[in-house]
Amino acid sequence: MDGNGRWAKSRGLPRTEGHRAGEDALFDVLEGALDIGLKWMSVYAFSTENWRRPGDEVRFLIGFNEDILLRRRDELHERDVRIRFVGRRDRRVPKRLIKNMDDAIELTKNNKAMTLTVAFNYGGRSEIVDAVRTLVADKVPAERISARSIASRLYDPQMPDPDLMIRTSGESRTSNFLLWQLAYSELYFTDVAWPDFRREHLYQAIAAYQERERRFGGVGE
């Protein structure tokens, strides 16, 4: 969900206003995704690298993400959306926020319409490192380490590999998002900044995806 800061700057607004505008984009896209029956959706809310941003912006992002969760979790629950989180729960993440995350997970755990995975304090490399650390802690012999054993120790082993990754605001890289899971995902890049992104842009991305041939390293039909 990229481009919030640049969107705000282009309008002479503080960067934080771009993040606020991004909330409307997120929930319009969510509603559109629910309307077409999308079963899994993952969003990159806060990365392990985002701690490097100015302190005021970091504090805003943490508080704003918590505020969205508190204001919107009942609405998502009513829409039968299951909420999940991936990322490190280290000392930098406030305990209050972790409790609110766990409360949202518990509240929505039996919902079936969609699983919304929020990547918070998340980094793809960190996830792989943590999976390897778990393998070592589990004393798995080197000869028994496989793609399956690593995948089973990722933050959410139940989450399927994404079919499609969408990145907004003209950036053409994955930026440490779901590095393991994106191995064979289709990538879609758009110049639309996230605050301007709406369900029709989601549908355009899915239509482009439907035109692609996925071979997973094999030969096409």
Q: What are the catalytic residues? A: 2, 50
Structure tokens at 191: 């110049």
The tally of CA atoms less than 13 A away on the side-chain side of residue 154 is 24
Q: What are phi and psi of 45, to 5 degrees?
A: -90, -40
16-32 burial, b at 16+ Cβ within 10 Å, e below that, comes to: bbbbbbbbebbebbbeb
Q: Which residue has the tokens 């989450």?
A: 159
Tell me how far apart the alpha carbons of residues 104 and 124 are, in angstroms, rounded to a whole number. 23
d(CA 81, CA 74): 10
- For 12, list phi and psi in degrees, rounded to 5: 70, 25
C-beta contacts of 186-190 below 8 A and 24+ residues apart: 186/212, 186/214, 188/164, 190/166
